[in-house]
Amino acid sequence: MHSVRSKIYSNDDHNNVDQKPEIYTDVDTVKTEHDNDVSDTVASKIRIMNVRSITEEHNDSQEPIIKQNTSKSDRDTNDRTSKLGKRPNKMKGHMCKVCDKYWSKLSNLKQHMSMHTGEKPHKCNTCDKAFAQKGRLIIHMRMHTGVKPYQCQICGKSFTQNGSLDVHMRMHTGKKPHACTACEKSFAQLSTLTKHKRTHTGDKPYKCTVCEKSFGDLSNLTTHTRTHTSDKPYKCTVCEKSFAVLSNLTRHKRTHTDDKPYKCTVCEKSFTALFSLTRHKRTHNGDKPYKCTVCGKSFAQCNNLTRHQRKTHIE
């Protein structure tokens, strides 16, 4: 059984054809020949390598240059190979031409591309805020409607998104998966760990445009700017008292409800605010974290240290 191949040689030199490269033309299939005693039925077809070539002559004295004409899919694969550093193993899906990430669905790729383009096609009809993803807009709309579909089965508190419920559950389980590598302190939220790390580095990336005071936390800067504007956006619905910080309003509301959710595990005394419980615990453990830099005297409360410094060291 023999395959059929046609050879094309350069016209430069017919005498030394053996030294010239062979160029194969397109041959799809060939049929096998049979002996005389075999019937006329066509035997199995043999697939012949399909190689497409072109010859480019640079000069009359140069040898013909042979180039392999690969298919578009092969070229795409080669492009991905050069970018990713290795040939993908049966890679399927839709590739981002910016970062080479693959997505199984075209809709996911289109959604991903908005990260590169900055496009935010999904706009809120209430406040005109825009989002790159429709799901983000749906979550945002709950802020206007007050819908909180995710409820904690332990305390009944509800949330606008499932991720917030997951973080909240760590308050009940005590799970703190985000550990600081500098002091090994752990946190329930990654954002809290990020802010905590700045206490080690001293980084304060958020700067006030009025007085140039810097902060390690954006929320602290936002609260600080209200000292310049006197803005108090958080209003009590019972007595109409206003506050610059939401946590202060939450704590104030408990004066109307007499709610004291923070209880001491030693004496069972309860408090409306967490910091009040923390301060109270020092009466049991004797902790005095506030130290005078002049005389070294320590205090359990920050205001006691401030009062000490004014009376003792400042004339």
DSSP letter string over 128-194? --EESSHHHHHHHHHHHH----EE-TTT--EESSHHHHHHHHHHHH----EE-TTT--EESSHHHHH
In the predicted model, what is the mean pLDDT of residues 63-68?
A: 37
Question: Does the residue 28 lie in any domain?
Answer: yes
pLDDT over 90 (residue 30): no
Structural element, H or E, at residue 228: helix 218-229
pLDDT of res. 111: 75
pLDDT of res. 28: 41
Question: Does the residue 151 lie in any domain?
Answer: no
pLDDT over 50 (residue 233): yes
In the predicted model, what is the mean pLDDT of residues 215-234?
A: 90
Which range of residues forms the domain containing residue 26? 1-32+49-56+65-72
Tell me the C-alpha distance between 75 and 217, whole Å. Answer: 49
Question: Does the residue 139 lie in any domain?
Answer: no
- 302 vs 51, which has greater pLDDT? 302
pLDDT over 60 (residue 10): no
68 pLDDT band, cuts 50/70/90, is very low
Question: Does the residue 202 lie in any domain?
Answer: no
243 pLDDT band, cuts 50/70/90, is very high
Question: Does the residue 12 lie in any domain?
Answer: yes
Question: Does the residue 16 lie in any domain?
Answer: yes
Total domains present in the chain: 1
Question: Does the residue 152 lie in any domain?
Answer: no
In the predicted model, what is the mean pLDDT of residues 269-281?
A: 89
Question: Does the residue 21 lie in any domain?
Answer: yes
